[in-house]
């Protein structure tokens, strides 16, 4: 038990460092490529990898759509009404119940909006999941994650906006292994357009 907890700490440390390198890299596509290499390294070799031991992705690496610079943008955080901030409770299996509060919305330049959530677990954090037209037909049916700052994924922002880059959309651990139960994208994080950027099946 102690060993698994220490390897989890190491996993989260490495994820945080991976995103720090992304934020400091001026060339956005180069940053994305570095992120992919680091993510593959974690998934293929780390003790906390969600991949099963015989998963062929350990050899091939995780599949992605090609990088698209049009999928990156700065989005203003639009406040929500107080009556929309009731907590959303999500069963996360061994992690207990995750409490999410709607903290705002962002408008996507390509159409639609996404809810931005505040997670009360892990000391708090911004959480932006995405379910789009590829979900179940090109990407995981439960959706992908754009940001989960409680786990280290943060691309940048200000006190009133966040950086979103759909090229960094990634599958949650439950896509690879039933050991995990992940909070999936709710209706306010669902758009009909196919987002052929980021991690795919």
| Backbone CA torsion sign across 35, 37, 42, 44 | positive
The whole-number pLDDT of residue 95 equals 65
Q: Give mean pLDDT, residues 25-40.
A: 98
The whole-number pLDDT of residue 142 equals 95
Task: Determine the Cα–Cα distance for residues 42 and 38; give it in Å rounded to an integer.
Answer: 6
3-state secondary structure of 187: helix
Q: Give mean pLDDT, residues 27-31.
A: 98
- Which residues does residue 118 pair with via DSSP β-bridges, in sequence order? 101, 126
Q: What is the pLDDT of residues 77-134, one digit of tens each?
A: 999 998 787 888 887 666 678 899 999 999 999 999 999 999 987 778 999 999 999 9
Q: CB of 106 within 8 A of CB of 160? A: no
Q: CB of 153 within 8 A of CB of 145? A: yes
| Backbone CA torsion sign across 201, 189, 125, 162 | positive
180 compared with 61, residue with greater pLDDT: 61
**Window from 33-47, 55-69, 87-101 with minimum mean pLDDT:** 87-101
Mode of pairing for the β-strands spanning 125-130 and 113-119: antiparallel
DSSP 185: P
Angstrom distances, CA of residue 166 to CA of 10, 65, 120, 130: 26, 10, 24, 9
Strand boundaries in 31-112, DSSP class E? 72-76, 88-91, 97-107
Q: What burial letters (b/e) apply to 168-178, b meaning 16+ CB within 10 Å? A: bbbbbbbbbee
Give the position of tokens 């209706």: 187
**Structure-block tokens of residue 54:** 């015989």
**Would you give the end-to-end CA distance of the chain in angstroms?**
32
Task: Determine the Cα–Cα distance for residues 99 and 86; give it in Å rounded to an integer.
Answer: 10
Q: What is the pLDDT of residues 139-193, one digit of tens each?
A: 999 999 999 999 899 999 999 999 999 999 999 999 999 988 888 899 999 999 9
| Backbone CA torsion sign across 5, 11, 13, 19 | negative
Instruction: Indicate the pTM of the whole model.
Output: 0.94
The whole-number pLDDT of residue 89 equals 87
Q: How far is CA 146 from the centre of its chain?
A: 4
């Amino acid at each position: 038990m102690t060993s698994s907890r220490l390897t989890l700490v190491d996993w989260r440390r490495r994820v945080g460092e991976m995103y720090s390198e992304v934020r400091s890299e001026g060339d956005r596509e180069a940053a994305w490529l570095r992120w992919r290499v680091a993510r593959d390294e974690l998934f293929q070799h780390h003790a906390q990898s969600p991949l099963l031991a015989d998963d062929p992705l350990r050899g091939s690496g995780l599949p992605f759509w090609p990088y698209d610079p049009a999928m990156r943008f700065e989005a203003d955080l639009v406040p929500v009404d107080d009556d929309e901030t009731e907590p959303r409770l999500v069963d996360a299996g061994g992690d207990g119940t995750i409490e999410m509060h709607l903290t705002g919305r962002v408008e996507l330049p390509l159409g639609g909006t996404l809810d931005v959530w505040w997670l009360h677990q892990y000391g708090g954090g911004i959480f932006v999941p995405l379910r789009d037209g590829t979900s179940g037909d090109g990407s995981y049916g439960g959706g992908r994650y754009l940001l989960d700052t409680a786990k280290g994924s943060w691309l940048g922002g200000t006190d009133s906006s966040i950086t979103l880059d759909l090229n960094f959309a990634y599958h949650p651990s439950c896509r690879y292994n039933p050991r995990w139960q992940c909070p999936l994208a709710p209706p306010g994080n669902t758009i009909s357009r196919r987002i052929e950027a980021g991690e795919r099946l």
